[in-house]
Structure 1
Amino acid sequence: MIELRTPAEIEQMRPAGRFVADVLAQTAAAAHVGVNLLELDALAHDLIRRRGAESCYIDYHPSFGASPFGKVICTSVNDAVLHGLPHDYRLQDGDLLTLDFAASVDGWVADSAVSLVVGTPRDEDLRLIDTTRRALTAGIQAAQPGGRIGDISAAIAAVAHAEGYSINTQFGGHGVGRTMHGDPHISNDGRAGRGYPLRPGLVVAIEPWFLETTDEIYTDRDGWTLRSADGSRGAHSEHTVAITDDGPLVLTAP
């Protein structure tokens, strides 16, 4: 069911957005060569405890997950692009890391993701990350009251296709509110003017993610991490956005 939020409720969601942005900033700053993914998860867990927030991931067990996630942040490295389950791995020079984090503060959820290169970057990785960021900006700009969900999808796809990337549509954006994942689904490819109307009060996570040379993925044997079918790298950018009478409001802006 799609729920619309009042202006007062959107204001109540701001602390969750600020907290999620802050946790991503702190974990990204801690992601150096030699740092273990479990250390990043422990940092995020400590920040949750200190804030009195609640993890959206630790007990999360949807149909596509092999078991409850058990960690509080997604850490996807190189050919992993979504749902990266933190494990005993030390970051190496040149790794492409995506951090995806969602938490609940005072009963309201925010969700966001960033990709970065640890240490020495490859030009191909920087281009891929930049494309997801520009696609996110385009998607947010298209999230105007009176528009349609397809406007967001088409704007994201236009940026990806201009750079020669193909698009997987199995996973995409989604509604956000009292829970992390709700309706409507927002594909990263679609036709403008189609889909659910963008009404003031709609709060969604917009999340373009692309792989360097494929749009096919498979699930790692950990039962969670989604990897590219050909071993190419992936990047992912995401913000929680409220549709208002004045246009899109990014709740997870740094």
Structure 2
Amino acid sequence: MTAATQRLCIGVACAKPISTLQCPTCLKLGKESFFCSQECFKTSWSEHKIVHKQSTRKNPTLLRSLKDLTKPTPLPTDPETGNFDPFPNFPYTGSLRPAYPLSVTRKLPPSIRRPDYSEDGVPRSEQTRGNPRNITILNAEEIKSMRKVCKLAREVLDICAAAVRPGITTDELDEIAHKACIERDVLLPCAQKLSLLLILSAQSYPSPLNYVNFPKSICTSINEVICHGIPDQRKLVDGDIINLDITLYHGGFHGDINETYYVGDKAKANPDTVRVVETSRDCLGEAIKLVKPGMLFRDPGNVIEKLAKQRNCSVVRTYIGHGVNQLFHCNPNVPHYAKNKAVGVAKPGMCFTIEPMINLGTYKDITWPDKWTSTTTDGKMSAQFEHTLLVTEDGVEVLTARFPDSPGGKIPIPGIDTKVEGG
């Protein structure tokens, strides 16, 4: 590894010869301004901030910023890994830090069927969802397509989850899931009789990729991250928990699922870690028991919050379950907290997710400057489980149900009699 370039600190009355810390605002404006320490930066702030007003260059868009973070950076890097924190002055609430640079955008077969946001990140089809009481009811053929894509989503999740271990990076997990997505359903019956175009169009698109400019194919949320973690170069360590959020787009439909997994043995030995993970699993299981024709969409939140409070946990309010079909996110809204104001009634043929996010501490969240990664405000652990559900004539079908050999699975909570069935 080459030595770092020597620069002078521009702090007031400083000019130390070795300076690597940069002003984050100047970085956004395309300027260079180095400081020797956080203290020097704070002392010089009142004078230094004047240079920001002198710039006429606009801040880059989120997409441009994330793309820039795949390139070499002047920010201080870890000498062993070459990784860096792109937001060194952000007040993180826990011990987790992003490990950039991000890997380059993963390639897709040219003929794969894509959702409308795949090129510019704008899900235009979702912008006309209208009255929250207007909920799509799928016909028999559409239900068949949902069953298919949800089965494929479960397959991809299981493939990715089987790779979870100490030492693997979340970027490597993203690559595994990305490849598994585009491999889904390629080997069709009598495929040799089909054209290459038809075979490629049968593949699955990883739904998160470029959805509102999200840069990766899956979400990987570790420890205090509630949801929407961006896969990067951080290696998982024994004692972590990780949520893998997988969505596939296949045949014009989306299938959405996530689960939280223990990394190594230390996580399973920590009673608080087990309590939050298994409470989230059980909350989903209890909520699913409610689903049938006539269920009010405000009802799952009542049973979820009741169980979470019994386990001394809290329920995130910012993020909710949602309709899913030809659209990634649509009506209905399904909050996970009690006394919510959701409207609508479940009817046969409706598809939606329930995905409670359960925290050890406060329910409140904060988002990192990447505009995606949401963490607990107290830095305590959060866990989540999600299924895509179909309302049937007499109950519910869990379209993303676990297979007999699916990785992970329920373990006992120390000191608690867990007779509740998990999802």
Normalised TM-score (structure 2): 0.57
Q: Aligned runs of 1:41-80 on 2, under 5 Å? A: 41-51=174-184, 52-61=203-212, 68-80=213-225
How far residue 151 of structure 1 moved from its aligned partner, in angstroms, is: 1.9
1:217 to 360, 365, 376: 365
How far residue 163 of structure 1 moved from its aligned partner, in angstroms, is: 1.2
1:95 to 228, 237, 240: 240
Percent identity reads: 31
SS for the counterpart of 2:371 is coil
The ranges of structure 1 where at least 4 consecutive aligned residues each deviate by more than 6 angstroms after the TM superposition are none
SS for the counterpart of 2:400 is coil
Task: Please list the CA deviations of residues 42-69 of structure 1 after superposition, one character each: whole Å capped at 9, or x if unmatched.
Answer: 00110112121012111100xxxxxx11
- Point out the structure with max Rg over C-alpha: 2
Which deviates more, 184-193 or 198-207?
184-193
SS for the counterpart of 1:189 is coil
SS for the counterpart of 1:42 is helix
Aligned equivalent of 1:16: 149
SS for the counterpart of 2:260 is strand
Q: Aligned runs of 1:155-194 on 2, under 5 Å? A: 155-191=303-339
- Which structure has the higher relative contact order (CA within 8 Å, separation 6+)? 1
Q: Are the aligned partners of 2:315 and 2:356 in contact in 1 as well (CA < 8 Å)?
A: no
Name the one with the larger strand percent: 1
Q: Aligned runs of 1:242-253 on 2, under 5 Å? A: 242-253=390-401
2:343 to 195, 220, 229: 195
Distance in 2 (alpha carbons) for counterparts of 1:192 and 1:9: 30
Aligned equivalent of 1:64: none
2:229 to 84, 95, 103: 84
How far residue 155 of structure 1 moved from its aligned partner, in angstroms, is: 2.0
Aligned equivalent of 1:30: 163
Q: Are the aligned partners of 2:316 and 2:356 in contact in 1 as well (CA < 8 Å)?
A: no
Q: Are the aligned partners of 1:152 and 1:192 in contact in 2 as well (CA < 8 Å)?
A: no
Which deviates more, 156-165 or 113-122?
156-165
Task: Please list the CA deviations of residues 22-44 of structure 1 after superposition, one character each: whole Å capped at 9, or x if unmatched.
Answer: 11111111010000111000001
Q: Are the aligned partners of 2:239 and 2:263 in contact in 1 as well (CA < 8 Å)?
A: yes
Aligned equivalent of 1:114: 259
Distance in 2 (alpha carbons) for counterparts of 1:155 and 1:220: 30
- List alignment gaps of at least 5 residues for structure 1: 62-67
**1:152/1:185 Cα in 2 relative to 1: closer, same or farther (>3 Å)?**
same
- List alignment gaps of at least 5 residues for structure 2: 1-128, 130-134, 185-202, 403-423
Aligned equivalent of 2:355: 207
**1:21/1:41 Cα in 2 relative to 1: closer, same or farther (>3 Å)?**
same
RMSD: 1.5
How far residue 222 of structure 1 moved from its aligned partner, in angstroms, is: 2.3
Normalised TM-score (structure 1): 0.94
Distance in 1 (alpha carbons) for counterparts of 2:335 and 2:341: 14
SS for the counterpart of 2:208 is coil
